[in-house]
Amino acid sequence: MAITLWRLGIEIEYHSLSQLFGIGLSTVSVVVADVCTAIVQYLANRYIAILAGEHVKLAVDGFVSKWGVP
């Protein structure tokens, strides 16, 4: 988890993370991918809503009135 948070928090190369944490480059790649996949799999439905029907129109109208962009 720490490796992934570090990677997502600052723009750092996998090679640097490998040296920083003392693990192989391929391990860094696998860890970051696995943690990101788990985050999306378990948290996306909880925090990201896909609007439908009247909710879409309300969201669009609110966006237009706030930002002036159709």
Confidence band, pLDDT 50/70/90 cuts, at residue 48: confident
Tokens of 17: 């993370």
Q: Is the pLDDT of residue 70 over 80?
A: no
Q: Give the distance, in angstroms, between the CA of residue 29 and the centroid of all CA atoms in the same chain.
A: 16
Residue 24 near residue 18 (C-beta atoms within 8 A) = yes
Mean pLDDT, the chain, integer: 93
Domain boundaries, the chain: 2-67
pTM for the model: 0.68
pLDDT (0 to 100) of residue 38: 95
